[in-house]
Amino acid sequence: MGLLSDPVRRRALARLVLRLNAPLCVLSYVAGIAWFLALVFPPLTQRTYMSENAMGSTMVEEQFAGGDRARAFARDFAAHRKKSGALPVAWLERAMRSVGLEVYTQSFSRKLPFPDETHERYMVSGTNVYGILRAPRAASTESLVLTVPCGSDSTNSQAVGLLLALAAHFRGQIYWAKDIIFLVTEHDLLGTEAWLEAYHDVNVTGMQSSPLQGRAGAIQAAVALELSSDVVTSLDVAVEGLNGQLPNLDLLNLFQTFCQKGGLLCTLQGKLQPQDWTSLDGPLQGLQTLLLMVLRQASGRPHGSHGLFLRYRVEALTLRGINSFRQYKYDLVAVGKALEGMFRKLNHLLERLHQSFFLYLLPGLSRFVSIGLYMPAVGFLLLVLGLKALELWMQLHEAGMGLEEPGGAPGPSVPLPPSQGVGLASLVAPLLISQAMGLALYVLPVLGQHVATQHFPVAEAEAVVLTLLAIYAAGLALPHNTHRPLSCRVISTQAPDRGWMALKLVALIYLALQLGCIALTNFSLGFLLATTMVPTAALAKPHGPQTLYAALLVLTSPAATLLGSLFLWRELQEAPLSLAEGWQLFLAALAQGVLEHHTYGALLFPLLSLGLYPCWLLFWNVLFWK
> Longest Cα pair distance anywhere in the chain, in angstroms?
94
- Residues of the chain with pLDDT below 70 are 1-6, 10, 56-59, 153, 398-424, 479-496
User: In the prediction, which pLDDT does 25 show?
Assistant: 93
Closest CA to 334 of 147, 148, 92, 70: 70
Q: Are strands 121-133 and 179-186 parallel, antiparallel or unpaired?
A: antiparallel
The predicted-structure confidence for 187-220, as pLDDT tens digits, reads as follows 889 999 999 999 999 988 888 999 999 999 899 9
Q: d(Cα 239, Cα 157) in Å, to the nearest integer?
A: 23
pLDDT of residue 223: 96
Q: What is the pLDDT of residue 600?
A: 92
pLDDT at 403: 42
| C-alpha to C-alpha distance for 410 and 432, rounded to whole angstroms | 37
pLDDT at position 38 is 94
Angle at 196 (CA atoms; ends 300, 598), nearest 5 degrees: 45
Helix (H, G, I), strand (E, B) or coil at 459: coil
CA distance 242 to 300: 5
pLDDT of residue 414: 42
**Can you tell me the distance from the alpha carbon of 273 to that of 264, in angstroms, rounded to the nearest whole number?**
13
CA distance 86 to 24: 62
C-alpha distances (whole Å) from 87 to each of 83, 84, 162 are 10, 7, 17
Question: What is the C-alpha separation between 490 and 492, in angstroms, rounded?
Answer: 6
Q: How high is the pLDDT of residue 4?
A: 58
Parse the chain into domains and list their residue ranges.
65-351, 425-483+496-624
- β-bridge pairing 266-268 and 234-238: parallel
CB atoms within 10 A of CB 587: 16
What are the φ and ψ backbone dihedral angles of 384, each rounded to 5 degrees? -60, -45
Look up residue 226 and give its amino acid.
E
**Is the N-terminal amide bond of 43 cis, ω within 30° of 0?**
yes
Contact by Cβ (8 Å): 307, 133 = no
Separation in Å, CA 125 to CA 190, 295, 577: 9, 32, 35
Indicate the CATH number for domain 65-351: 3.40.630.10
Q: Is 205 in contact with 165 (CB distance < 8 Å)?
A: no
Per-residue pLDDT at 279: 82
What is the pLDDT, as a whole number, of residue 212?
A: 92
In eight-state DSSP terms, residue 104 is E
